[in-house]
Copies of this chain bind each other. A is one copy, B any other.
Amino acid sequence: MNDPSIRHEIAHLARVELYTPNPDGTLWFFTELLGMYETHRAGQSVYLRGYEDPYQWSIKVTEAPRAGMGHAALRTSSAEALERRAASLKDSPLAGKWSDGDFGFGQTYEFASPDGHNLSLVWEVEKYQAPPELRSKILTRPSKRPLKGLPVKRIDHLNLMASDVTAVKETMERHLGFQTRERVVDGNVEIGAWMSTNLLGHEVACMRDTLGERGRFHHVAMYYGIPQHNIDAAEIFREYDIEIEAGPDKHGITQGSFLYVFEPGGNRIELFADAGILQFEPDYETRTWQMADIDTGLAIGGAHLPWETYFTYGTPSKRTLEEHKAEFATAGPPPPPTH
């Protein structure tokens, strides 16, 4: 259980940087299929935002030899909260360092999760201001709904693979004030945790890396908010040769409507079609899923989350997605974790 006094220090997930060996393909995916607006280019990076993302960008696509997550940044709820969270980390083995920020964001505190994921905290942001032709009549919408693809509204959440889920979870709780809303245990081993600092069922999740690798990225989710949109998105992905891994269906965990695909660079992207469970209770107690009930936790409908990718493939990967599937299609699940 975390310290209530720090429960609101982190406001929300602000942005994720994705590495891609296929930058043209990745950009086409996000702009033509998911209707994201390009707001900036610099070096090998392109900055993108959904039409309801409030800042200059939520996704940064950076050319790199292998797919993966460059970093993910959380926005604090105040300048003071940023100082406090940085101080808390600085006093810990995780340490970290200040940097100057990036396009549209100010001073940033960078650190690594116990598993090695690059994470950041930031307070200063530049709010996106639409030019007249992109202004929406809906005042809470920073820009018009675009006319390309099936446009996502905003970034939703981040899912990390870890060799040690509990260590990542405890960092999020202790230093950043996250609450663990749901977790999955296999015997005594915690193999999944869904964490949040606000009403959302989760903004950061962590799942056990069944290959035992460290610091890999599972997926980032973009938000539609309309269940039907995942059905429509699946049809678009099918027509335009984007590989669908699983869905559309609804997780029991978080009650989120999911659709998982691989963008052309090899990263897994989730389309999140509704808000899922919103958690209002201030004295909510973590729900724990046992393996015996996991079937409902994974999918309420008949969807099958495939062992050969969903539970084994993360980025960076030593193999291409095709190689990975070929290798794991026949391998089958490993023996259960021992304790």
Q: A residues bordering B, Cβ < 8 Å?
A: 4, 7-8, 11-12, 32-33, 52, 54, 75-78, 127, 136-141, 144-145, 147-149, 181-182, 198-201, 225-229, 231-232, 234-236, 238-240, 244-250, 252-255, 257, 259-260, 274-275, 277-282, 287-289, 293, 296-297, 300-304
A296 touches B11 (CB 8 A): no
A255 touches B4 (CB 8 A): no
CB distance from A211 to the nearest CB of B (A): 22
A52 touches B11 (CB 8 A): no
B199 touches A198 (CB 8 A): yes
Q: Which of B7, B33, B54, B228 contacts A226 (CB 8 A)?
A: B228
Q: Which of B54, B239, B297 contacts A136 (CB 8 A)?
A: B239
B149 touches A147 (CB 8 A): yes
Instruction: Give Cα A303–Cα B258 distance, bound, in whole angstroms.
Output: 12
A274 touches B54 (CB 8 A): no
- The residue in chain B whose Cβ has the minimal distance to the Cβ of A137 is B296
B140 touches A238 (CB 8 A): no
Can you list 26 A-B contacts with CB-CB less than 8 angstroms, sorted by A residue number? A4-B78, A11-B280, A32-B147, A54-B280, A75-B280, A75-B282, A76-B282, A136-B239, A137-B238, A137-B293, A139-B253, A139-B297, A144-B240, A147-B148, A199-B200, A200-B278, A225-B274, A227-B227, A228-B229, A231-B250, A234-B250, A234-B301, A235-B301, A245-B302, A248-B249, A275-B278
